[in-house]
Amino acid sequence: MVLKTKMLWRFKFVVVAALIMVWLGGCSGEENTKNNQGAQSNQSGEQNNHGDNVATTGEPDELTIYAYNDGIGLNDGAIKYIEEKTNTKLNITTGIGEEMESKLNVMLASGDIPDIIQYQTDETELKYAGSGILLPLNEYFDKAPQLEASRSEEVWQAMTHADGNIYTVGIQTPSVHFVTMYRKDWLDKLKLEVPTTIDEYYAVADAVSNGDPDGNGKKDTYAFGASGELGRYFDHVFGAFGVLPDYWMERDGRIVNGTVQPEAKEALLFLNKMYENGLIDPEFITDDGNRNKNKFKAGVYGAQANFIWVFDSNNLNNYYTPFKEANPNGEWIEGPVLKGPGTESVGMRMLSQRGWLKTSITKDSKNIDAALRLLDWLASEEGNRFVNYGLEGEHYQVDEKGIIKKTVEVEEAKKYGIDKFVLAKSVSFDTATPRFLEVKDFTEKNALSEPADGILVPEIGKFGKDLKAYTNTEYLKMIVGEMDIDKEFDKFVQEWNDRGGKEFTDALNAAYQERK
């Protein structure tokens, strides 16, 4: 009996010890969040202080900015230079990727509203504009003439909301940045021509995947890979069949989504065949953008749709140089839009004129004038060139043809802060080589424009992301053969419509007819 009590006591000790351990574990986890919260509230406290400062003439105006984080350092030479030029003092908080908008939401919800904010999606823009926190820029264009001049009438048209106001400056990229491309050196080795029809493409894809074009005796090359998200990497195949998935197109005067067109089914069957025969990198499902990019640079792919940057030997994004280093004999050649079976083929998708990143001034900002001054300078020719390339003589030189040659290494340019602070940047091809411009024109000429671009309906926010995610998963299932395309494609279309696709399409069409 005594023994038993003693034992029980010991077990109690163990239980308590275990509880303490669990508690300590939980505690250390909590501590992290606590610290984070502390740091955040400190930060916001600081910002509030700055916001309360009333700027006096001559003194730099303080601006709080929530910006896209491309590695902005507050002590970057570039930031200092911009502050000097615009007589401002910038307090910048940053976010990146999917976290960007959630962080901004939290900041806004806690009442801590920066003077200038950046975000990425139309959904968010609609939400903020609807809540009335954004400044209608069109009413202030007289104070920022260079900003107005930096974008075409057409672009401003696409930025205009249903209430007739423009709330955002879109940060654009080239309108098309993908092109169908082939490894010229592999084609030569395998004695193949650049394909023009989808059947020829299959033969080429098969040869570059299974014909050991790199001559190392291993099956380690593929026609193409992707980064889990469906989008652009498959456009050359879908385009041959006449549709682009997750893209609005006009059919008989009506806007329809390429995702649910019957031609998409044919394209999926084709892709499934490619996948089954080992022509698509099986890691395309698990690869992220970076891994895909690295494989591209390493020379794994041979017949793909991918970024046009690889044709630009002056490129800052650095596709060309690493690719050449890994594949000294490697050379890419662009290919035409592939002809499909009977239907009309379409080219690459165009990026929205509204830009991939958006900048707004908030309505209740105490420094609207300073914010406009900053954006105006950044959008000016001088400002834009500075943001893109730095200072002439110090970071770049202009050669006799007017092409900008960078004179500093990529790392050094980054250290100074070049091409990071993209508040009002417009795309510029001053460094591009003639070969790059040739390819760019080639793909732009063939690209399929999106009739719904710039039409903002609330359904975008309601259904957009959900439908995209749903399509992505179901399409991947069909490509890898987890779903019988012949049997289940129609069911997929039905479900897509039920999940709001139909409502979305109808709303877009109504707005489209109205705009016409």
Partner 1 sequence: MQLQVKMTKMLQLLLRDKNLYFMLLPGLVYFIVFRYFPMAGLIIAFKDYDIFKGIQDSPWVGLDIFREVFSSSDFKDILFNTLLISFYKLIFGFPVPILLALLLNEIRFRFFQRLSQTILYLPHFISWVVIGGIMLTLLSPNYGIAGDIMRLFGVEPFNLLGSRDYFRSILVVSDIWRNAGWGTIIYLAALTQVDPTLYEAAVVDGANKWKQTWHITLPSIAPVIILLLILDIGRIMNVGFEQILILQNPLVRDISDVFETYVYRVGIQRGEYSFTAALDFFKSVVSAVLIISAHRISKRLGQEGLL
Task: Return the range that interacts with partner 1 (CB under 8 A); candidates 60-68, 74-82, 124-132, 417-425.
Answer: 124-132
Options 108, 269, 391, 408; binder of partner 1; rule CB under 8 A: 108
By CB under 8 A, residue 469 contacts partner 1: yes
Q: How far is the CB of 278 from partner 1 (least distance, A)?
A: 8
* Residue (178 or 284) nearer to partner 1, CB: 284
Place of tokens 């649910």: 260
Helix (H, G, I), strand (E, B) or coil at 288: coil
By CB under 8 A, residue 2 contacts partner 1: no
Options 12, 251, 435, 445; binder of partner 1; rule CB under 8 A: 12
Helix (H, G, I), strand (E, B) or coil at 211: coil
Q: Which parts of 255-284 interact with partner 1 (CB under 8 A)?
A: 281-283
* Interatomic CA distance for residues 130 and 122, integer angstroms: 12
By CB under 8 A, residue 24 contacts partner 1: no
Options 175, 407, 472, 497; binder of partner 1; rule CB under 8 A: 472
* Residue (133 or 403) nearer to partner 1, CB: 133
Helix (H, G, I), strand (E, B) or coil at 487: helix
Cα–Cα distances in Å, from 305 out to 179, 293, 348, 354? 5, 12, 9, 23
* Interatomic CA distance for residues 281 and 493, integer angstroms: 27
Q: How far is the CB of 29 from partner 1 (least distance, A)?
A: 11
Binding-residue pattern over the window 222 to 251 for partner 1, x denoting contact by CB under 8 A: ------xxx---------------------
Give the rounded distance of the alpha carbon of 286 from its chain centre. 18
Q: Which parts of 125-184 interact with partner 1 (CB under 8 A)?
A: 127, 131-133
Task: Return the range that interacts with partner 1 (CB under 8 A); candidates 56-64, 87-95, 103-111, 189-197.
Answer: 103-111
Q: Does residue 103 contact residue 36 with C-beta atoms inside 8 Å? A: no
Options 387, 476, 493, 508; binder of partner 1; rule CB under 8 A: 476
By CB under 8 A, residue 17 contacts partner 1: yes
Which helix (H) or strand (E) covers residue 209, if one does? Answer: helix 198-210
DSSP string, 137-176: GGGGGGG-HHHHHTS-HHHHHHHB-TTS-B--EEEP--S-
Options 1, 2, 14, 54; binder of partner 1; rule CB under 8 A: 14
By CB under 8 A, residue 16 contacts partner 1: no
Helix (H, G, I), strand (E, B) or coil at 388: helix
DSSP string, 359-382: EEEBTT-TTHHHHHHHHHHHHSHH
By CB under 8 A, residue 491 contacts partner 1: no
Considering all CA atoms of the chain, what is the largest pairwise distance in Å, rounded to the nearest integer? 101
Specify burial of residue 482 (Cβ count, 10 A radius: 0-12, 13-18, 19+). exposed
By CB under 8 A, residue 211 contacts partner 1: no
* Residue (108 or 368) nearer to partner 1, CB: 108
By CB under 8 A, residue 298 contacts partner 1: no
Which helix (H) or strand (E) covers residue 384, if one does? Answer: helix 381-389
Options 42, 473, 494, 513; binder of partner 1; rule CB under 8 A: 473
Q: What's the DSSP call for residue 216?
A: S
Q: How far is the CB of 285 from partner 1 (least distance, A)?
A: 3
Query: For binding to partner 1 (CB under 8 A), which residues are involved?
Result: 3, 7, 10-15, 17-18, 21-22, 27, 30, 34, 98-99, 101-102, 105, 108-109, 123-124, 127, 131-133, 220, 228-230, 281-283, 285-286, 291, 465, 469, 472-473, 476-477, 480, 482, 499
